[in-house]
Each structure stands twice: as C-alpha cells, then as structure tokens.
C-alpha cells in the first residue's frame, strides 16, 4: 500500500478529462520511474500493467475535477491510500 498525496500544484497542472494528466496521475508519477505508464479514470488507476481500484474518496475527486467542481465534493488537495501497490 502507498500513500498518494494530491497537492494543489497537481490540481493546477491537471487537465480535466485527460486520464494521463489527472491530478491523481500527476501525484503518482512523482512516486514511480518516469517511464512508468500511469493513467486514471473514474474508478481505477493503471500503473504499468496493473489495474487498481481507486478508493471512494479518490473516485469522487476525479468526478468533481472532470465535471469542473460542480458536484458535492470540492476539488481540494487530499491524501489517500492505494491498496495493492508497493514501491
């Protein structure tokens, strides 16, 4: 398990609807070698050949970010644990 720290910098640099430039993807890219493929959708993160379910809080963040912060969960910096990933 790893802790993922999504910062306001990741949010500012992120691109809504872009699975490789989602703020969560940007936070994860800082934890792995640059050649590691990382992409995020509303439910999963793909790290290399591994597809890992995002926890509920991270799923809510992705939806809020992609929808322009229009639902009930504000786009704020946060941390979460990602199960099944080890550095």
Number of domains in the chain: 1
For residue 65, the enclosing domain spans 2-82
Domain membership flag for residue 42? yes
Domain membership flag for residue 87? no
Domain membership flag for residue 53? yes
With b for 16 or more beta-carbon neighbours within 10 A and e for fewer, the 6-43 pattern comes to beeebbeebeeeebebbbbbbbbbebeeeeeebbbeee
Q: What is the pTM of this model?
A: 0.92
Domain membership flag for residue 61? yes
Distance CA 87, CA 73 (A): 30
Q: Positive or negative CA dihedral for 44, 59, 54, 18?
A: positive
Mean pLDDT by 10 residues, the chain (87 residues): 96 95 97 96 95 95 84 81 85
Distance CA 23, CA 65 (A): 9
């Amino acid at each position: 398990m790893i802790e993922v720290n999504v910062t306001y910098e990741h949010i500012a640099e992120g691109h809504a609807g872009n699975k490789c430039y989602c703020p969560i993807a940007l936070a994860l890219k800082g934890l792995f070698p640059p050649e590691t493929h990382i992409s995020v959708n509303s439910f999963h993160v793909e790290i290399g050949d591994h597809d890992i379910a995002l926890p509920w809080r991270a799923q809510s963040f992705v939806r809020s970010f992609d929808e322009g912060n229009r639902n009930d969960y504000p786009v704020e910096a946060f941390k979460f644990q990602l199960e099944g990933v080890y550095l």
